[in-house]
Amino acid sequence: MKEVNELTRRLLAKGWTPEDTPPGTHPYADHEGGWTYTGESIRSIVWETPCGLLADGRHFMNGYMSYQGVDWRPENGNPVLCCPVFPSAPCPLRDPLLRTQGYTLHSDDVSYQCACHQTDRPYTYEGSVDEVHDRVWKEADKLWEVFKAQHKGRVCRQQSHYGRTAKTWRAYYDPMDCANFGCCSYCDVLAKELDLRKGNVFYDLRRSWTVKGEGLFPDQRKTIVEKGRKLLSSTVSLTICEAIVKYGRHRVEERIRSEFHRDLFFDKSLEIEVINLRAARVDKRDILQDLQDVANGIEVIHAADSLKAAKAQKRARREAAKAQRIRKVEKMILTYGWDHLEDIWKRRAEKLLDDDQIYALVQQRETSRAKGPPEEAQISLF
């Protein structure tokens, strides 16, 4: 059972019982420490930070924090929110239990939680947490223009981070993010218009491992090269593809290490290498290189062939399963007839068979019933 919260203590002192549901609360629940505020009630309460900033109830709608054995929540009169000032050092006005507690979001961005208390002051935007938040981002906008000018415009705000504690901008560039989320027609980092032609990033994957020999047979080193693997799930501008090849090779290698993490852990002889990273609209096969690799004892496979084979197997399994469902439906119609068939089987039959097929099966059943059961063959010893 959870410890009774402050709201419940007050209501119990006023004569309410657990069987009651006071206005503005949810029914009594032991696992919540008693009564809890409804969403409408929380939104109607005005709170105040230790430094006097106002906060309306919508800031406390998404759960609560448990820390140092205390539930910091509206029912206990101490909900917390992130300090909008983002100071570089703990604030002495904060609750002693929270004074040294802070979360380092980035090296230049530290977040502290402030415990609020209920106030009778009416909410106003002036002097509120929201005003301070807006002020922080207005300052960030001004500093961004300075930062952008220092880099001669070759920075992207979508791929930059603002440290609210240090009040500084930091930029990075990862074209993989552009491929996954970007929708720009002009790239500030590359300082060029994006190519309207679309393509993908292709690469070859070389895998080598040792096959243990038995008896008189020595260990053997085996190598397979899978060619034409696609990096992206969908096509993007060729400009982005070329940028990935030039700047994003580490992301490709990270993906491969993640894909083969288990194999690399259990087989220490396994070596994996990304080779021939390239951007293209359509991948083209180098038959002569394939023949040369095979002559050198390297097994060559193509990702497109593997994908085509996998699709063919999936299609065959799907068709076999459908044929089995059709046979089952036909058997049900021949056994029970159409009129005595359950509705669910009628729906399945109408989905899998056309009207002519259903009619033929019904007629087949009627003909079979008219002939009667087959005569038993007499057993002869001679």
Give residue for tokens 């609209």.
281
Query: Cα(67)–Cα(69) distance, rounded to whole angstroms?
Result: 5
Residue 178 in tokens: 């552009």
Which pTM does this prediction carry? 0.69
Query: Cα(298)–Cα(291) distance, rounded to whole angstroms?
Result: 10
Q: How far is CA 207 from CA 8, 204, 222, 263, 317, in A?
A: 64, 10, 8, 11, 30
pLDDT tens string 292-339: 888 888 888 888 888 888 889 999 999 999 999 999 999 999 888 888
The residue type found at 235 is T
The residue type found at 67 is Y
* pLDDT of res. 382: 46
Nearest to 53 by CA among 109, 140, 121: 121
* pLDDT of res. 376: 52
Contacts of 152 (CB under 8 A, 6+ apart): none
* pLDDT of res. 294: 87
* pLDDT of res. 210: 92
Where does residue 237 fall: left (phi above 0), alpha (psi -120 to 50 degrees), or beta otherwise? Answer: beta
* pLDDT of res. 88: 82
Where does residue 40 fall: left (phi above 0), alpha (psi -120 to 50 degrees), or beta otherwise? Answer: alpha
Q: How far is CA 263 from CA 250, 268, 269, in A?
A: 20, 8, 10
pLDDT tens string 79-123: 999 999 888 887 888 888 887 666 666 667 888 889 999 999 999
* pLDDT of res. 373: 61
**256 touches 205 (CB < 8 A):** yes
* pLDDT of res. 171: 92
Residue 298 in tokens: 């390297």
DSSP assignment of 72-106 equals: ESGGGT--EEE-TT--SS--TTS-TTTTT-EEEEE
Question: How does pLDDT run along the chain (382 residues), one tens digit per residue?
Answer: 678 999 999 999 999 999 999 999 999 999 999 999 999 999 999 999 999 999 999 999 988 999 888 999 999 999 999 999 888 887 888 888 887 666 666 667 888 889 999 999 999 999 999 999 999 999 999 999 999 999 999 999 999 999 998 899 999 899 998 998 877 889 999 999 999 999 999 999 999 999 888 877 888 899 999 999 999 989 999 999 999 999 988 888 998 999 999 999 999 999 999 999 999 999 888 888 888 888 888 888 888 888 888 889 999 999 999 999 999 999 999 888 888 888 999 999 999 999 899 989 988 888 887 776 655 545 554 4
* pLDDT of res. 325: 93
* pLDDT of res. 381: 46
SS (H, E, C) 107-150: CCEEEEEEECEECCCCCCCCCEHHHHHHHHHHHHHHHHHHHHHH
Contacts of 12 (CB under 8 A, 6+ apart): 4, 34
Contacts of 223 (CB under 8 A, 6+ apart): 206, 207, 208, 297, 298, 299
Residue 185 — φ and ψ, nearest 5°? Answer: -100, -15
* pLDDT of res. 90: 78
